[in-house]
Amino acid sequence: MAPMSLESGETSGPYVERSREDWAQLARSTPMTLDEETLSRLRGMNDPTSLREVVEVYLPLTRLLSEYFRNFGDLYRSTHDFLRLSVERTPFVIGVAGSVAVGKSTTARLLKELLSRWPQHPHVELVTTDGFLFPNAELERRNALHRKGFPESYDRRALLRFVMDVKSGKPEVSAPVYSHLSYDIVPDRRIVVNQPDILIVEGLNVLQPARQRADGTTGLAVSDFFDFSVYVDAAPDDIKSWFLQRFATLRETAFRNPESFFRRFAEMSETEAMRYADRVWDTINGPNLMMNIRPTRGRATAILRKGANHEVRWVRIRKV
Ligand SMILES: Nc1ncnc2c1ncn2[C@@H]1O[C@H](COP(=O)(O)OP(=O)(O)O)[C@@H](O)[C@H]1O
Ligand SMILES: CC(C)(COP(=O)(O)O)[C@@H](O)C(=O)NCCC(=O)O
């Protein structure tokens, strides 16, 4: 069978695809719980996600998620009855994947906010995988400082341990923290996740399958613990232009902070700084997208495909 083209909007096999218009119809009667002020707090830099986008794209997604969540609870209860186990319910885990600068953070933060507002008020936690990047000194030792964001730049074992601990119901599981300001892991700082009902794990590589070991066996990957996953998708040229626009905005804002690792880009000429950003895309983030991130797209439960103006044009769902 010829591989399915995601550009043409076809539907085939175990997937169903809905145009933006059809998708929006699926949650027509769902009440909107977010206001403009909350949305502006959740939006990433240069991300124009509107309240209309929340109503037409994210509410249907949360309705679908609530079906998965309910079924997950039923399955969990019945299998535990069968096994005569009396363990507390463990969290429902959602992965959010996609390129650098595609808007994953906005999607993940929106999901956190909308799911927390469900009638049963679940406790929702969000963790980004950048905390599991190796510190710069370790990346340097591994000759991988120019590979930040590639699968090998993460402490995958620690990330897997973190997700497994949370998923198995352990209290107070902690994760390291990354700072865009210092461009490094923050020493002596951890965030703590305490038995949430829902855990959202957001990052470039969260849909990667497990690696094969030298002896030919495969281990586990974080994606093995996902109960639902979302891939935020767009044309690579659009994502590159969003990355460059964001870099230009960061030059005017965050990079001006005297403590910013990127301070020198606020000080050099715009042409020079933008030439650097273009090179970062062409040598790091672009190749990582094409070689590692995009190939995991088909593994997601839901794909949100954005157009050049950031609006989601169509949604693809795995039927099974
Ligand atoms: N150099 C930087 N300085 C400050 N903030 C940054 C920098 N690079 C990225 N960010 C912010 O970090 C967050 C994550 O960015 P990214 O990993 O590109 O994911 P996405 O754009 O898909 O949400 C975004 O909110 C972005 O605005
Ligand atoms: C921090 C990131 C690797 C993304 O981390 P994630 O939370 O998606 O794992 C990325 O946003 C980034 O800043 N890449 C750096 C590329 C570079 O300038 O070297």
Please report how the helices 270-280 and 236-252 are oriented relative to each other, as an axis angle in degrees rounded to 10: 140
Which ligand gives the minimal distance to the CA of 178? 2
Mean of the per-residue pLDDT values of the chain: 93
- For residue 81 the two structure tokens come to 């009855």
- Would the pLDDT of 76 be above 90? no
Which ligand gives the minimal distance to the CA of 255? 1
- Strand partners for 184: 179
- For residue 225 the two structure tokens come to 């613990």
Average pLDDT over residues 279-304: 97
Q: Name the amino acid, one letter, at 187.
A: P
For tokens 């990346």, name the residue: 139
| 254 pocket-lining for ligand 1 (C-beta < 6 Å) | yes
Helix, coil or strand: residue 10: coil
Q: How far is CA 279 from CA 136, 191, 240, 263, 273, in A?
A: 20, 33, 11, 18, 10
| 236 pocket-lining for ligand 1 (C-beta < 6 Å) | no
Contact 181, 254 (CB under 8 A): yes
What is the spatial distance between Cα 200 and Cα 125, in angstroms, rounded to a whole number?
A: 6
Residue stretches of the annotated binding site for ATP: 98-105
Q: How far is CA 93 from CA 35, 136, 147, 195, in A?
A: 26, 29, 27, 12
Domains in the chain, CATH or no CATH each? 15-84+91-208+217-318 (3.40.50.300)
| 203 pocket-lining for ligand 2 (C-beta < 6 Å) | yes
Average pLDDT over residues 189-218: 95
| 143 CA distance to ligand 2 middle (Å) | 17
- What's residue 199's pLDDT? 98
- What's residue 11's pLDDT? 57
Average pLDDT over residues 292-306: 97
Contact 112, 200 (CB under 8 A): yes
| 145 CA distance to ligand 2 middle (Å) | 11
pTM above 0.95, yes or no: no
> Whose CA is closest to 67, among 115, 22, 112, 19?
115
- What's residue 213's pLDDT? 87
- String of DSSP letters for 46-98: T----HHHIIIIIHHHHHHHHHHHHHHHHHHHHHHHHTT--PPPPPEEEEEEE
Contact 96, 201 (CB under 8 A): yes
Residue stretches of the annotated binding site: 98-105
What is the spatial distance between Cα 25 and Cα 4, in angstroms, rounded to a whole number?
A: 26
- In this prediction the ipTM stands at 0.92
Residue nearest atom 14 of ligand 1, based on CA coordinates: 105
- Work out the angle at residue 137's Cα, subtended by the Cα atoms of residues 134 and 143, and round it to the nearest 5 degrees: 80
Q: Which atom of ligand 2 is nearest to the CA of 128?
A: 7
Q: pLDDT-derived band of residue 12, with 50, 70 and 90 as boundaries? A: low
Residue nearest atom 8 of ligand 1, based on CA coordinates: 180
pLDDT in tens, 147-195: 999 999 999 999 999 999 999 999 999 999 999 999 999 999 999 999 9
| 196 pocket-lining for ligand 1 (C-beta < 6 Å) | no
What is the spatial distance between Cα 138 and Cα 144, in angstroms, rounded to a whole number?
A: 9
- Would the pLDDT of 1 be above 60? no
